[in-house]
Amino acid sequence: MAIQECHLTALLLISVLGAILGSLQVGYHTGNVNAPAKIMEEFFNQTWKDRYNETLSEQSLTLLWSLSVSIKDFGSLLGSLGVKYLADSFGRRNSILIVNCLSLVGVSLMVVSKAIESFEALILGRLLFGLFCGLVMSLNPLYVQEVSPTVMRGAFATLNQVSFASGILLGMVSGLETMLGTEELWTVMLSLSLIPAVLQYFILPFCPESPRFLLLNKGQESKADAALLRLRGSPEPVLAELEEMKAEAAHTQASVGVLEFFQKRSYRQPIIIVLCINLASQLSGFNAIINYSTRMFHPYFEEAKYLTLGVGAVNVIFTLVAFFLMEKAGRRRLLLIGFIIIAVCNLLLTVVDSVVQTVPSLGILQVLVVFCLISAYELGPGPISWFIAGELFDQRGRSIAMAFASMLNWGGKFLLALLFPPVLKVIGGYSYLLFMVMALIGFVFTWFRVPETKGRTFDEIAEEFRGAEILPLHDKNGFNTFS
C-alpha cells in the first residue's frame, strides 16, 4: 500500500501513538502483579498484624488478595458504562485526557499504600484504575478509527492491542524479582505507568479532535475540515472524506439512547455480531493462559516464570503481525484463521494435560501449544474484538457500541478469572474443551454471519444494515463478504 494512498502524516501517527499510551498503561498493570504476588500478600498480612496484633488466616489472605486483583476488572465493567456520555459530550480526544486522571490518581494510591501502611489504598487504587481501563479501552479505538484513513483504519486500530500486549510484557519483566518485584521496590514497579500517563498530557492536547465527532455530533463543519486538513496534510482527501461524512449524516438520526440502541432494527445484526465475537474471543482460553501460565508450566519447568515471559513476547510479536496483515487479509479471514487454530490448540492442550503427568517430557509440547494459541488469538480475535464494534455502527450508535463491546470484553475476563480456578479443580484439563467449544462457535458464527469491513467507509458498512432484519451474506455482490 502506497503511503500516498493512505495519506500518512506525522501528526496522524503522533495522534494515534499518543492515544494508545492509555492501553500501554492498562497492559502494564495486567502483567505486573503475578510475579510479586507473594511479596504484596505479605504486605497485606504485615499491615493487618501491625493494626490488630494478629496475622490473617490463609483463607482470609487469599480472599483479600483475590479481591485486590479482580477489582480492576470489576472497575473496568463499571467504567464501560460511562463511554457514551464522555465520548459524545466532550469528544473522543478530550475524553481520553479526562479519564487519564483516573489512572494518575489510582496509580498514586497504589504507590503510597506501602508508605501509609494501607492495603485499602492499594485496593481503592486498583478500582479507580479499573474504571480508567473500562473507559480508555473503548475511547482509544474510537478515536483512532475516526482519525484514520479508511484504508488504514483496521491496522491503526490494531495498534491499540499492540500497545496493550507490550504493556503486559513490560509489566511481566518489571515484576520479576531480578528487576523491581522485590519487597523494597514493588511500589516503584507500580509507579512506572505514571510515565506514559503524564506523557499523554504533553502529546494529545496538540492533536486534533475526531473530525467525525466535530461534524456529525457537533455540526461544526469548519472545525472538522481544519482537523482533517491537519491529519491528512493535503486538501484532496479532505474533500472526499467530508462528502462521505455528510452522506452518513444524512442517514443518521439526531441521537440514539441506550434503550433505542438495542431496539433499533438496523442495529440488530451488528449487536449480535459484536456479542458473539467478543464472548467467543474472551472465553476461548487466552485469558486463562495469560493469568495462569506460570502455574501451568511450574510442575514441569523450574524457571516457569521465564516461560511466562515467552508468552508475553509471543503476544507482542503476533499483535505486530496482525497490524501488518489487517488491511491485506481482512478482518473476517483473520477471525476464521484465529478461531480454528485456537480450537485445535485447546483440543491438543486437553490431550497433553491427560498424559503429561505420566510423561513429563511432553511438558515442552504444552509450552509450544500455548505459544501457538496465544499467536492465533492475537492474529485476529484479540485485536478485532476490541474495534469491530466501531466499524459496524453509524456515528450516533458507535459510542454505545464501543461501550457494549468493552463490557463484554471485561465481563468475559472477570467471569473467566472467577470461574476458571474452580472449574480447573473439578474437571482438570477437560476445561480446555469448553474453550474449544467457544472457539468453534466463534468460527462458525464468523463464517455465516460476519461481513468483511476492510476498505469500506463507515457509511458503506452502515448502509448494508439499514432496514435489514437479516444480512444476506451469501450475496457477494452486496457486502463483499467472502473477499
The three three-digit cell numbers of residue 247, written as one number: 452522506
CATH number for the segment(s) 8-207: 1.20.1250.20
Cβ-contact 160, 383 below 8 angstroms: yes
**SS3 call for 330:** coil
Q: Which helix (H) or strand (E) holds 411?
A: helix 395-427
Residue 473 is predicted with a pLDDT of 44
Cα dist from 313 to 70, 167, 289, whole Å:
24, 11, 14
Residue 288 is predicted with a pLDDT of 80
Please write the tens of the pLDDT for every residue from 190-207. Answer: 999 999 999 999 999 999
Place of cell 500497545: 163
Shortest CA distance to 211 belongs to which of 195, 232, 191?
Answer: 232
Residue 295 is predicted with a pLDDT of 66
For 328, left (φ over 0), alpha (ψ -120 to 50), or beta? alpha
Place of cell 474437571: 427
Portions of the chain given CATH number 1.20.1250.20: 8-207, 256-483
Q: Give residue 224's Cα distance to chain centre.
A: 28
Report, at the CATH architecture level, how domain 256-483 is classified: Up-down Bundle (1.20)
Residue 302 is predicted with a pLDDT of 64
Please write the tens of the pLDDT for every residue from 223-274. Answer: 999 999 999 988 888 888 888 888 877 776 667 788 888 888 888 899 999 9
Say how far apart CA 89 and CA 22 lie, in whole Å.
Answer: 20
pLDDT-flagged residues of the chain (< 50): 1-4, 469-483
Say how far apart CA 362 and CA 252 lie, in whole Å.
Answer: 57
Residue 271 is predicted with a pLDDT of 94
Provide the angle, in degrees to the nearest 10, between the axes of the packed helices 92-112 and 21-31: 30
Q: Which long-range contacts (CB under 8 A, 24 or more apart) does 86-91 make?
A: 86/135, 86/139, 87/138, 87/139, 87/142, 87/213, 87/399, 87/402, 88/217, 88/399, 91/209, 91/210, 91/213, 91/214, 91/217
Instruction: Return the DSSP state at 454.
Output: T
Place of cell 482527501: 237
The three three-digit cell numbers of residue 30, written as one number: 495486567
Residue 299 CB partners (closer than 8 Å, separation 6+)? 357, 363
Place of cell 500501554: 24
